[in-house]
Chain A
Amino acid sequence: MSGAKKRNFQIEAFKHRVVVDPKDAEKAWNILEHAIHEIYNYNARGFVFEDLYRTAYYMVYHRFGEKLYSGLVSTMTSHQKEIAKSIEAVQGAMFLEELNRNWTEHNTALRMIRDILMYMDRTFIPSTHKTRIHELGLNLWRDNIIHSSKIQTRLQDTLLELVQSERSGDVINRGLTRNITKMLMDLGPSVYEEIFEKPFLDVSSDFYRVESQQVIEHCDCGDYLKKAEERLNEEIERVSHYLDARSEAKITRVVEKEMIESHMHRLVHMENSGLVSMIMDEKFEDLGRMYNLLLRVPSGLTIMKDVMISHIRETGKDLVTDPERLKDPINFVQELLDKKDRLDKIINLAFNDDKDFQNALSSSFEYFINLNPRSPEFISLFVDDKLRNGLKKDKEEEIELVLDKVTMLFRYLEEKDLFEKYYQQHLAKRLLSGKTSSDAERSFIVKLKTECAYQFTSKLEGM
């Protein structure tokens, strides 16, 4: 092949700038066209690169660059039209495979062509502001193959079908799909968006809207949240395997909106399985899941907080106004402490120590503790009991711990003066009877001091 070409004008020496006969340029072009043709047909074995390179060099050098360029465009276009026809003709499932195979081969061919025509690519093209060969190849592919009406719709439908069947639990060929989406990305992000991403998001939106409706009719809150979390993770994994990374934020937003945001009110308020029952049954895992999912949507956590606040206030109010409980002040306070412990644990384990929730807890406690006018007195009695008798039963650190928690309750009191009055009385009795340790007393007073002003505690300290 390479020996058969004519070598007329190529014998001229470098030094002479002769005007080249257009006929020779025509011959040169024919050689190159033939070479390109063979490259597209995978027959390029044995070509001598240097010959072809030199031929192209001479065309550009002798000012026939335009002829070369336009010849290139038309040759590539006609080849691609043929490829398009052959892809369109493919039946059924082999469609994507054929498309993928042709794409890979096209890229190889493109590279070879660019290498041969490198001289034009780096001199003629930039100076005439034409598109460089690599980009030219991609653009022609895009225009002739992807935007061919038959192929475009079929491609879109096939990709969406694959996603749908994977969502229903089938196994699909992820590698092949990834090559195709990568091809779309290579052709340009707008191509990817237009052909795949946008329809994908629309279809997903519909899918999740329907699914969330079905699931919520049949599942309780905890199970629904599990399903939502599963789907969310599934989508993230899908993106990492065969979609472009930029799609992750968009698809997660879709899932969040359809599965979580649309139904959050109903979920949190659900009878016998919503937030309130989770709190009462101490279902840490479910609570944590709810927190993490609602964290993702705007005002999701606000709903949780509001429900939690009203729950604590109600149950707290029942506690402090129950006449039976009021008969035993020590137990009363103990129950308050227990309640606080339980809720603290939930906030710590499931809500990631979220400050907003901690504040909500505090404000709720403040509300109901003060509903009972005798709370300050009861708390003082509790401390009294601990300091008198506790040292016999419990170790020092445990007492410290309990007193720390009592200080928290103290913080919630409105009538702190009232507490001081009672505490003075009880302290006096303790000191007189000698049934206490001055270390423990002092340490408790220090705790009180850190909660309020100095004057408050100075009298007590004096004692």
Chain B
Amino acid sequence: MKKEEMVKLISAEGFEFVIDKKAAMVSQTIRNMLTSPGSFAETEHGEVTFPEISTTILEKICQYFYWSLQYASGKETEFHIEPELTLELMMAANYLHT
């Protein structure tokens, strides 16, 4: 688990999710954030704070990232979404361009 390949996503409540950069970059927004020229705070510290995204949603999103990578490499499983999360999840997905 090399440090350079991981990135930390922090939810509104302060929970920290450490995931692979590769997974995080499924989100176009996060990808831009991490690859943008210029030294933004996120690239310097390798962590991104989302004060608007709750922990539950952020957790689900991280699961989605990994599922997406698996799906891309051939494993065609289903991604289950609990109905009560749908709206918030969609908004977050829009925000993160995923």
- Residues of chain A having any CB pair with chain B under 8 Å: 2, 10, 14-15, 39, 44-50, 53-54, 57, 108, 111-112, 115, 118-119, 122
* B37 on interface, CB distance cutoff 8 Å: yes
- List CB contacts (< 8 Å) of B27-73 with chain A: 28-29, 32-33, 36-44, 48-52
List residues of chain A with CB within 8 A of the CB of B38: 39, 44-45, 108, 112
CB of A14 within 8 A of CB of B37, answer: no
Q: Does B87 contact A (CB under 8 A)?
A: yes
A331 to chain B, nearest CB (A): 84
Inter-chain contact A49/B39, CB cutoff 8 Å: no
A49→B33 contact, CB < 8 A? yes
Q: How far is the CA of A365 from the CA of B92 in the complex (A)?
A: 89
Q: Which of A39, A46, A54, A112 contacts B52 (CB 8 A)?
A: A54
Are A112 and B36 also in contact (CB < 8 A) when A14-B88, A118-B29 are? Answer: yes
Measured CA separation A119–B50 after assembly (Å): 16
The chain A residue with its CB closest to the CB of B41 is A48
Closest chain-B Cβ to A12's Cβ sits at a distance in Å of 9
Q: Is B85 an interface residue (CB 8 A)?
A: no
Q: A115 CB to closest chain B CB, in angstroms?
A: 4
Q: Name the prevailing secondary structure of the A interface residues.
A: helix
Is the CB–CB distance between B52 and A49 below 8 Å? Answer: no
Bound Cα distance A47, B29 (Å): 16
Residues of B within 8 Å of A48, CB to CB, are 40-42, 49
What band does the interface of chain B fall in when counting residues whose beta carbon is under 8 Å from A? 20 to 34
By a CB distance below 8 angstroms, the chain A residues around B51 are 10, 54
* A50 near B37: Cβ-Cβ < 8 Å: no
Instruction: Report whether B87 and A15 are in contact in the complex, using a CB–CB cutoff of 8 Å.
Output: yes
Of B36, B38, B95, B97, most A-chain CB atoms within 10 Å: B38
A-B contact pairs, 9 of them (CB 8 A): A14-B88, A46-B44, A48-B49, A49-B43, A49-B48, A50-B33, A54-B51, A112-B38, A122-B97
A115 to B29 CA separation, bound complex (whole angstroms): 8
Cα separation A57 to B39 with both chains bound (whole Å): 21
Instruction: Give complex CA distance A205, B40 in Å.
Output: 51
Complex formed: what's the CA distance from A53 to B92 in Å? Answer: 13
Question: Which of B32, B37, B97 touches A108 (beta carbons < 8 Å)?
Answer: B37
In the complex the two chains form, what is the Cα distance from A10 to B12 in whole Å?
A: 12
Residues of A within 8 A of B87 (CB): 15
Distance of A50 Cα from B37 Cα, bound (Å): 15
* A111 & B41 in contact (Cβ 8 Å cutoff): no
A48 to B88, CA, bound (A): 23
Measured between alpha carbons, how far is A108 from B39 in the docked complex, in Å?
A: 12
B91 beta carbon closer than 8 Å to chain A? yes
CB distance from B49 to the nearest CB of A (A): 6
Q: Inside 8 A of A49's CB, which chain B residues have their CB?
A: 33, 36, 40-43, 48
- For residue A100, give the distance in angstroms from its CB to the closest CB of chain B: 17
The answer to whether A112 and B37 touch across the interface, beta carbons within 8 angstroms, is: yes
User: Given known contacts A15-B87, A50-B42, is B52 in contact with A115 (CB within 8 Å)?
Assistant: no
